[in-house]
Amino acid sequence: MKVWMAAALAGVGALCGFGTPVPAGENPVLVELYTSQGCSSCPPADELLTRLAGRDDVIALALHVDYWDYIGWKDIFGQKAHTARQKGYVRAAQGRTIYTPQLIVGGQDHVVGYRPMEVADLLMAHKARPDAVHLALHRENGKVVITAEMASAEPGEMWVQVAVFIPRETVHIERGENAGKTVVYSNIVRSLDKVGDWDGTAPLSIAVDAPADAPLAVIIQRADYGPVLAAARLN
């Protein structure tokens, strides 16, 4: 396992404007952070995700992996499923190695380490693209109703996924590389499940079970860890 040891960028005003949304279309940009409480390089990226989580034009999700647990601190949010998802992205990109921290923007652009300038540029590039899919969500009779139709993208095999997340938790880390640190984590993914397949040849309309007391995001993505075509959230 390799870990990118990127130095934190200091003195860059407000993390390159991460508090100010870029001009955007309707669809927010999905940003996935693969992180671990056992990785000493991760806290700056965790803070970056917290800043991104406050933006309306971004859906920022933290997926805690489990492959750092052996060094003395078990990440209380870590899941094998998150490690498997990260490996899926690496295979799709024809890579060989997984890293923490690693951000994946729009399901296709990988940023290893703490690189806020690069993330800012990618967000602007993704927001400049026309919406590929029109996606809408609402709660009804204890379910989440998901409707979608193609916009500028071509039909093809897509995954419809639901990510349930915890908005914020503060954790005091007692052992491992971050021993003694107290870290704030945002939008911590509790579960990320595929709830359907869609080929885009007809409008999508499905109702899925979801906890009423937790925020969630719906992600429509090309199959086999391809680009994210649309994402939306419900609080």
Q: Is residue 209 part of a domain?
A: yes
Q: Which of 9-23, 106-120, 183-197 comes out lowest in average pLDDT?
A: 9-23
pTM of the predicted protein model: 0.89
Q: Is residue 5 part of a domain?
A: no
Which pLDDT belongs to residue 170?
Answer: 98
Q: Distance between CA atoms of 175 and 169, rounded to whole angstroms? A: 18
Structurally, the chain folds into a number of domains equal to 1
- Mean pLDDT, residues 133-142: 95
Share of residues in the chain with pLDDT > 90 (%): 85
Coil, helix or strand for 71?
A: helix
- Mean pLDDT, residues 223-231: 98
Q: What is the CATH number of the domain that holds 182?
A: 3.40.30.10
- Mean pLDDT, residues 109-132: 96
Q: Which residue type sits at 135?
A: L
Q: Is residue 6 part of a domain?
A: no
Q: Say if residue 143's pLDDT is above 50.
A: yes
Q: List the domain range (segments joined by +) for residue 42.
A: 14-234
Q: Is residue 8 part of a domain?
A: no
Sheet holding 133-140, edge to edge: 133-140, 143-150, 204-209
Which pLDDT belongs to residue 213?
Answer: 85
pLDDT band with cut points at 50, 70 and 90 for residue 212: confident
pLDDT band with cut points at 50, 70 and 90 for residue 25: low
Which position has the token pair 């690189």?
115
